[in-house]
Amino acid sequence: MVLPNDVYILLSVVNTALRDGESLEDLCAEYGCTREELEARLAQAGFEYEEAARRFR
């Protein structure tokens, strides 16, 4: 799969998958990216991963 280009759609896809129980590592493997790449892409728009809540905010 390819990650969405729009950061807000990406945020929604990622947070929905995390809410539904998928791990961040599994999600990254599914999309063919590293956790660092995903976090960096969302960080560019001001979003950070909250480990305890399992979501980007």
As a whole number of angstroms, the distance between CA 8 and CA 25 comes to 20
End-to-end CA distance of the chain: 23
Task: Give the model's pLDDT for residue 1.
Answer: 84
Task: Specify the pTM.
Answer: 0.92
The residue extents of the domains of the chain are 7-50
List, as one string, the DSSP characters of 25-55.
HHHHHHHT--HHHHHHHHHTTT--EETTTTE
The DSSP output letter for 12 is H
pLDDT tens digits along 25-56: 999 999 999 999 999 999 999 999 999 999 99
As a whole number of angstroms, the distance between CA 10 and CA 38 comes to 9
Q: Hey, what are 6's tokens?
A: 């729009």
